[in-house]
Structure formats: structure tokens, C-alpha cells
Structure 1
Amino acid sequence: MPEAATVPTQSPNHTFCDTRASVDAALTTIHQYTKLAFDCEGRDLGEIGGRLSLISLRTISDDLSSSISSGHKFLFDVITLEREALLGVYAILESSAITKVVFNGRMDFSSLYHDHSIELRNVIDLQIADIKSRELRGEQKSGRMRRLGSAIDRGELYQNQDLFDGMHKLSGLKKCAKEHIAFSDVPGPRFQHSQWFTRPLPAEYLHHATEDVELIHQLYLHFHRRGYLTNPHLPGESMRYVSICKDRQSKMDEPFRKHGLLPLGIIGAEQVQGQETRRCGYCERALTKSCFSNKSWSADVSKCNVCRAVGFQPFWLRHKR
């Protein structure tokens, strides 16, 4: 029996698409744009046993001087909709002609690739742009080391400083937004991620999904205006970063793949192209000699400097985990 024509469920902040007709209506609007803010929500997203619940897309105007509040936000219900109804959305995610702006898109890529056979393409990851912006904003080595001090034991950090050259502490979306655009986060209820599969979705979960994709949009506009997105290597670095789990999905608690440090070999990979590599026995990535200590490079089982640093977490962070 053919599906009755319906109007997408709308609110002042988003359009919730859970029927074939509402998806088609959303795609008509989305195809007018060449850039989209993109995010996913779910439980243990991108990990073995995880599950995708929502795909969020926010249009980005080609006129980047336009108001931050203008545009359209669409939430696609992956739980309710059949795969066939979402093929147009998946085609956008795989399109090389449409830029997807993400923030830490690693688990989004992993979930889509391993669980839905969709390969995300043409990505700008603002988590990488944030790290590259720090030097442009005048941050010196001392500032980079202070950031690292929240993730690495300070004694280890300052006793072996040469091993931490080129290492960076990642910032989460809201912390990054607070640093760049004075975002003020209002503490809300603790999320139970199983609730992402409740229908209808609780209002606070809808708010969270729309807020994240809107923050990505606002950060993109800010980074564009400040010139943080002009580096020609950013698209390639972004794709290396988001596809880092393409070889396999991570387990739920896998310390050498889930931590707060930027993996090595993402930024500056063009400069060492063609150099000899070794496989780190912990994160399982092929990396050049500069990513290892001399001792580890020649060991039977090599450990890259980031994986080594993960073993020297401060007591409070080990206790929290």
C-alpha cells in the first residue's frame, strides 16, 4: 500500500523526518546546498555492538556572511525508516560534490561504514581545524604542554619532552565552542544512551541532536571568518582522521584507540610520504620513525609515542575511567 503524503514533523529548531515523504521533502531542500553540518547520534556509536539512531544535517549557506540562525536542520530517524527510504541521505554522505562539516567524525564514519556499508566522503573535521588554529592564534609550546597536562602525567610529560613534540590534546565540541565563540553550556540531565531508541524521542534528546549540529555550523562560520580553513592539507587530514577506524571497529573500552590525544600521522603526513613505516602494536597503525622513540622503533613490538603517553595518564583520569 503506498505511503500517504505527510508533512515533516517540524519545530522552530528542526524538521524530524520519519516517513519516506518527509525524507523526500527534506532532500529537495538539502540539494540546494553544497555544504552541510553533519552529526550522528546513537548508543556506543561506531563501536562493536553500537547502533545508530539519528542522522543530523544542517544546511550551510554559500553566503557565509549570512545570519547564524538562518538555515535548515533535519533529523533523520534511522530506527523507524527503512534503508531504501534513506538512500538519498546516504548518497549525500557519499557524495564528493557536497562538503560535510563534522566535529570528531571518527565514530560517525565507523558506524556508517561498518554497520550500513556507507563510506563518508568529502569531509572537513573542525576538531582538526581547531588544533591547527592554535598556532595561528599564537599558542606556543608551553600552551600545548599545558593542554597535554590534563591527559598525561606531568612528571612524565616534562621529563621526556622530546617524545611529545607534535602531540596535541583534543578538545570536545562544547569545550571548543566555549574557547572560540564563548558558548555557555547549561548542565542538563545525564543521558541514558539507550533512550536514543525510544520513540517518540524525549525532548531533551532532540534538543541535544539539534544543538550539536548547530554548534558545528557556528564553529564553521567562525573558523571561516578567521581563516582557519584555508590550509590546503585540511581536507586530506580530515579524511585520514575520520576514517581511522576503517580497518576495523573499536571495542567499547579500547584505551589505545579511545583517548583524548590526536593520533599521530594525521597532521603533516604529506611531509613524510614515502618514508619507511612500522606498525604500532597497540593502535595497530603504520607510522613513520618520528612517531616512535628510538628504542621502540627497533623493538619487536613497537609502541608509538601517543600509545606510550596513554599509559601515563594522571591518577584522576585513570580513576575516572
Structure 2
Amino acid sequence: MDEEPVFIDTPEGISTFVDYVTLQETRLGDAQPPLYFDIEGERLSRYGKVSLLTVIVYAGKGPERTHIIDIHTLGDRAFSTAGKHGKTLKNILESPQILKVFFDVRNDSDALYAHYGIQLQGIRDVQLMENACRQHTAGRRYISGLSTCIEGIPSRDDKARWRRCKEKGEALWNPQKGGSYSVFNKRPLPSDIVAYCVGDVRYLPMLYFKYRRGTEPWNKLIAEESQRRVSASHSAEYRPDGPERTLSPWSAEQNRQLDLWNAPRDYFSYEPDDDLDDLEYFEYSDDYDNDYEDWTRAPWQGPPS
């Protein structure tokens, strides 16, 4: 996936993209989700702005294709422009039959719903998948950021490359590091921001298949909890930067079920406190992803005047 991403900033480009997506094979369901998403923008939420939407389209045959959609330029047209078959990007995002993979869908969903009336469906949240794979209830208490998950991939070269792209991109957009959110709206888009956008989605397919399980009950749980995150992000009470965001969503009964599903073969021979997941899981960090930027004013209080 080293070829340049396709940059889409015209209604004609959206129409072509939508037609390409609608042609992808979706009958395999969870076995091969075709779409992996990430969104960038200023204080990404109902209180901020949506600038860029990055999508990996992977049909299971041939190379992955990466697209960056210029929401800043297109606005509503990005979601309302139809392809030859009458489908729009809004239709795709709201279709329960077309699976969409996000890493922590909450603020992305909040922003799409608040600004464009899009109600995401067919979501699989990789952050929840990683958490649900942990062996014991105690190890599932806190969720992990994307950086922690990428640190778990085997290739040192891939991890080093991702870190470099992340650091260069943050230096441009992160106000705490001397950058400005306005860089997401600069055209042509700086190459380091293109690499940053691509970097946040390029490992989602790898992580999805790393954490995915083959049992229907496990997949159903992930689907339901992913969709519950979407619904919660639409509520008036949703806090885009609330402290409770670091906690996993599982009920006591769900944790008991996950303990059983994740148990080693000698499940009844070990002590419950033994062999807990790595301590790194107990400290949440997202390395300044723009939807986790610390705001000087609590986001649920509204944007600064």
C-alpha cells in the first residue's frame, strides 16, 4: 500500500469513488470488511470541524486502495453526491450490510452525526476488539490507544515508519507542538499530512484480522457494542473528551463470558490473578490523536467563545 492515495475533491471524484465501493464484494461479511476509516479535523466532534476522511478500500482481491476525501472543500456534497447506481457516501456509511472498520468510532460518529446527519451502521471498532481479546476481566478494565496496538505488530520497520509519520504530522497540526489545525485545510495538502492520514488507517486491516475471532457470539458482541458506541455519541449527554472514555464498556456478565471465551485450555488450573495482561494496557494513551486533544475548555460545555 505504498502507492499515492487518491485525493478526492470534486463531486465527480465522489461519484467514481461511490461506484467503486458499491462494486466491492460484501457477501463475506466479517470475513473481509471492505472499508477502513479515519477522520481528521479541528477538535473532531460536534464542537469541531471535519476536514478529511481517509478510507482504505480492500475487497479481498488485489491491492488495497487508499482514498482521502476532502470534506473541507466538498462539504455536504461529499455525502450527497450519487454514483451511477444512485448510491451516495451517506448511503454507504449508513448501510448495515457494508462493514466499516474504525479505531474508536465515538468522536468520528459524533462529528458525522452533528454536522452531516449521518447515522453510522455496520461498524466494527478495532479498539473494542483488542480489549475483548484480553484474557482476564482485570486486564480489560481500560482500553488502549492506537499507538499501543500498533506497537504490538511484528515488523520493526513498520512501527518505525508509523512513528515517523505520526511525529511529522503532529508537528504540523498539533498546537501543543507548534502546529495548527488549519494545516488540514491547506491545499495542496502537505505531504507529511497525507502520510499522517494514511498512517492512521494503513494498519487497521492488519489489526482487524489480528484481533478478530471466528465465533459468531464473539463477533455479535463486538458488532453490538460498536453500534452502542455510535448511539451513545448521538446523545445530548455525550462528552467527546470525558474521563470515562478510557474505560471498557463490558458489563459483569459480558466480562464473565469473555473470560470463558478467552480462557486457555487449562482454564481451571490457574489462579484468577495470575498471568494478567501486560501492564501497558492499564495506562490509556492516544499520542495526541486530534480527537483526543486536551482542550482548555471542557468540550461538553461547548466551544470557546
TM-score after normalising by structure 1: 0.62
Q: Confirm whether residue 83 of structure 1 aligns to residue 82 of structure 2.
A: no
Distance 1:265 1:41 in 2: 31
Counterpart of 1:217 in structure 2 is: 205
Counterpart of 2:99 in structure 1 is: 99
Distance 1:212 1:172 in 2: 12
Distance 1:60 1:28 in 2: 14
- Asked whether the equivalents of residues 18 and 77 of structure 1 are also in contact (C-alpha less than 8 Å), the reply is yes
Counterpart of 1:173 in structure 2 is: 146
Structure 1 236/186 Cα, relative in aligned 2: closer, same or farther at 3 Å?
same
- Shift, 1:266, TM fit: 10
- Bigger relative CO (Cα 8 Å, ≥ 6 apart): 2
Counterpart of 2:44 in structure 1 is: 45
Distance 2:46 2:237 in 1: 5
- Asked whether the equivalents of residues 168 and 261 of structure 1 are also in contact (C-alpha less than 8 Å), the reply is yes
Distance 1:57 1:267 in 2: 35
Distance 1:31 1:251 in 2: 34
- Asked whether the equivalents of residues 42 and 53 of structure 1 are also in contact (C-alpha less than 8 Å), the reply is yes
Structure 1 239/253 Cα, relative in aligned 2: closer, same or farther at 3 Å?
closer
**Mean CA deviation greater in 237-246 or 112-121:** 237-246
Residue segments in structure 2 that go unaligned for 5+ positions in a row: 27-33, 81-87, 175-180, 258-283, 285-293, 296-305
Counterpart of 1:21 in structure 2 is: 12
- Shift, 1:265, TM fit: 4.8
1:55-134, aligned counterparts within 5 Å? Answer: 55-62=53-60, 70-87=63-80, 88-134=88-134
Larger Rg: 1
Structure 1 43/228 Cα, relative in aligned 2: closer, same or farther at 3 Å?
farther
Distance 2:68 2:111 in 1: 17
Q: Share of identical aligned residues, percent?
A: 26
1:123-152 deviation line (CA, Å, top 9, x unaligned): 0111111011112xxxx467x2xxxxxxxx
Distance 2:241 2:58 in 1: 35
Structure 1 85/104 Cα, relative in aligned 2: closer, same or farther at 3 Å?
closer
- Shift, 1:95, TM fit: 1.0
Q: Which amino acid in the other structure matches residue 25 of structure 1?
A: T
Give the alignment partner of residue 247 of structure 2, picking from 241, 244, 261: 261
Q: Which amino acid in the other structure matches residue 71 of structure 1?
A: E
Distance 1:108 1:126 in 2: 14
1:268-307, aligned counterparts within 5 Å? Answer: 268=254
Aligned residues: 228
Structure 1 251/134 Cα, relative in aligned 2: closer, same or farther at 3 Å?
closer
- Shift, 1:96, TM fit: 1.5
Distance 1:261 1:22 in 2: 40
Counterpart of 1:194 in structure 2 is: 182
Residue segments in structure 1 that go unaligned for 5+ positions in a row: 1-10, 145-166, 272-312, 314-319
1:2-13, aligned counterparts within 5 Å? Answer: 12-13=3-4
Q: Confirm whether residue 243 of structure 1 aligns to residue 231 of structure 2.
A: yes
Q: Which amino acid in the other structure matches residue 41 of structure 1?
A: E
1:13-34 deviation line (CA, Å, top 9, x unaligned): 3100001111112222211223
**Mean CA deviation greater in 111-120 or 173-182:** 173-182
Structure 1 253/99 Cα, relative in aligned 2: closer, same or farther at 3 Å?
closer
- Shift, 1:93, TM fit: 0.4
1:24-48 deviation line (CA, Å, top 9, x unaligned): 1222221122321111111111142
- Shift, 1:222, TM fit: 2.8
Counterpart of 2:301 in structure 1 is: none
- Asked whether the equivalents of residues 47 and 250 of structure 1 are also in contact (C-alpha less than 8 Å), the reply is no
Counterpart of 1:30 in structure 2 is: 21
Write 1 or 2 for the structure with the bigger share of strand: 1
- Asked whether the equivalents of residues 46 and 250 of structure 1 are also in contact (C-alpha less than 8 Å), the reply is no
Q: Which secondary structure does the structure 2 equivalent of 1:26 belong to?
A: helix
Structure 1 252/168 Cα, relative in aligned 2: closer, same or farther at 3 Å?
closer
- Asked whether the equivalents of residues 46 and 114 of structure 2 are also in contact (C-alpha less than 8 Å), the reply is no
Structure 1 101/253 Cα, relative in aligned 2: closer, same or farther at 3 Å?
closer
Distance 2:225 2:240 in 1: 25
Counterpart of 1:316 in structure 2 is: none
Q: Which amino acid in the other structure matches residue 75 of structure 1?
A: I
Q: Which secondary structure does the structure 2 equivalent of 1:39 belong to?
A: strand
Distance 1:134 1:174 in 2: 17
1:37-73 deviation line (CA, Å, top 9, x unaligned): 111111111142x00011121112246xx7xxx2211
- Shift, 1:243, TM fit: 3.0
Distance 1:217 1:172 in 2: 16
